[in-house]
């Protein structure tokens, strides 16, 4: 566990934080018997890192004020660059300013954060100038509890739909999956955007105890309209997990736009929250782990699953 220490903020801001803490404590005492609340955020990142942080901070503060104990931000929450060079130049390490500021925010608000796609400088940055796409979990003490690097990179050419992205040209694929993270809303399994298309990942996280899967994303408009909701609901149905998917929305710069529709889906596949396709916002959802247990008990899919040899026997024929 990595602890990052920093001191930020004006006296006015610190005073507003204290007021917010008082509100949170009152809200928590009134809702102690209810399932925990998670907040799924939708933002429009640009190449302006300072403006992006201000926008995300407002959403986190709003979510915390409304009682959320864990807040999910999308892929590219730090920025979305307008070129390969700009994207690389603005990247940072985990010890840099951006993660320091979010660590402080989590500590100030006493809230857990899922930072869903940070441009982290890679292990040989000085040599090759390549980055990881990293999903970071920060606890309510401001400590980094998990860092997952995106495994599946978005290299897609869809000329008829105006989509052309090659993430592997500047991004290093993550070396491995990580076990689900113990959080106030349950065990959270981590993915990022394009990982959503690979059910092997979600099933692996399920086998290791996930109650919640999360796919912070910046889906293109074309692929989002066609596949976003159906994929998220499919992952929820096949794993009988909650699925939380923060999203980018709208126009980031002249070359890129995102689909939006940050979603929260329950273990039955029902959409509990949708931020729409137009504006930044936040959706709050109760994460009732009893619903996970009931769904799995009433339809025990995992008990009906055959052993791995059964599913691989075609490969041997």
Q: Whose CA is closest to 235, among 262, 261, 213, 207? A: 213
Residue 3 has a pLDDT of 40
Q: Per the residue annotation, which of 193, 241, 275, 291 is the catalytic one?
A: 193
CA distance linking residue 185 with residue 67, whole number of Å: 13
Residue 27 has a pLDDT of 56
Q: pLDDT tier at 13 (50, 70, 90 boundaries)?
A: low
Residue 254 has a pLDDT of 87
313 lies in a domain?
Answer: no
Residue 135 has pLDDT above 80, yes or no: yes
Residue 266 has pLDDT above 90, yes or no: yes
Residue 31 has a pLDDT of 55
Residue 147 has pLDDT above 50, yes or no: yes
Residue 242 has a pLDDT of 98
Count of domains forming the chain:
1
11 lies in a domain?
Answer: no
Q: Whose CA is closest to 80, among 38, 119, 111, 30? A: 119
249 lies in a domain?
Answer: yes
25 lies in a domain?
Answer: no
Neighbours of 276 (CB within 10 A): 13
From 27-36, 63-72, 185-194, 202-211, the region with the lowest mean pLDDT: 27-36
Q: What is the CATH number of the domain that holds 280?
A: 3.60.110.10
Mean per-residue pLDDT over the chain, rounded: 92
Label the pairing between strands 212-214 and 242-245: parallel
26 lies in a domain?
Answer: no
193 lies in a domain?
Answer: yes
170 lies in a domain?
Answer: yes
83-131 pLDDT per residue, tens: 999 999 999 999 999 999 999 999 999 999 999 999 999 999 999 999 9
Task: Please give the residue that has the higher pLDDT: either 128 or 33.
Answer: 128
118 lies in a domain?
Answer: yes
| Residue 41 annotated in active site | no
| Residue 150 annotated in active site | yes
Q: Per the residue annotation, which of 41, 56, 69, 75 is the catalytic one?
A: 75
Average pLDDT over residues 62-69: 98
Strand positions, DSSP E, the chain: 2-3, 37-43, 68-73, 112-121, 131-138, 143-149, 155-158, 163-166, 181-183, 186-190, 212-214, 242-245, 247-253, 256-259, 263-265, 271-274, 281-286
Q: pLDDT tier at 8 (50, 70, 90 boundaries)?
A: very low
Q: Which pTM value belongs to this model?
A: 0.89
Phi, psi (5° rounding) for residue 315? Answer: -65, -20
Q: What percent of the chain has pLDDT over 90?
A: 81
Residue 315 has a pLDDT of 86
| Residue 75 annotated in active site | yes
Q: Which domain holds residue 254?
A: 2-6+37-298
160-183 pLDDT per residue, tens: 888 887 899 999 999 999 999 999
186-206 pLDDT per residue, tens: 999 999 999 999 999 999 999
Q: Per the residue annotation, which of 56, 120, 150, 187 is the catalytic one?
A: 150
């Amino acid at each position: 566990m990595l602890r990052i220490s920093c001191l930020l903020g004006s006296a006015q801001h610190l005073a507003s934080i204290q007021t917010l803490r008082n509100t949170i404590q009152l809200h928590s005492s009134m809702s102690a018997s209810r399932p925990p609340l998670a907040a799924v955020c939708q933002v429009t990142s640009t190449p302006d890192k300072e403006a992006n942080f201000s926008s995300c901070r407002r959403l986190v503060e709003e979510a915390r004020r409304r009682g959320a104990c864990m807040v999910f931000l999308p892929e590219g929450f730090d920025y979305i660059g307008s070129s390969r060079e700009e994207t690389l130049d603005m990247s940072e390490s985990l010890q840099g300013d951006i993660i320091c500021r979010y660590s402080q925010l989590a500590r100030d608000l006493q809230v857990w954060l899922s930072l869903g796609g940070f441009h982290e400088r890679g292990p040989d940055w000085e040599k090759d100038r390549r980055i990881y796409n990293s999903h970071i979990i920060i606890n309510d003490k401001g400590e980094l509890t998990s860092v997952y690097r995106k495994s599946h990179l978005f290299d897609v050419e869809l000329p008829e739909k105006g989509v052309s992205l090659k993430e592997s040209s500047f991004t290093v694929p993550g070396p491995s999956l990580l076990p689900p993270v113990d959080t106030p809303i349950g065990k959270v399994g981590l993915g990022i955007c394009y990982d959503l298309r690979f059910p092997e990942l979600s099933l692996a996280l399920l086998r290791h105890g996930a109650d919640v899967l999360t796919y912070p994303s910046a889906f293109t408009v074309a692929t989002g309209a066609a596949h976003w909701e159906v994929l998220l609901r499919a992952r929820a149905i096949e794993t009988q997990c909650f699925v939380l998917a923060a999203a980018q929305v709208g126009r980031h710069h002249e070359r890129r736009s995102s689909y939006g529709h940050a979603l929260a889906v329950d273990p039955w596949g029902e959409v509990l929250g949708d931020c729409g396709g137009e504006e930044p916002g936040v959706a709050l959802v109760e994460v009732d782990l009893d619903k996970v247990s009931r769904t799995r008990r009433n339809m025990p899919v995992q008990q009906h699953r055959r052993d791995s040899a059964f599913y691989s026997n075609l490969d041997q024929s």
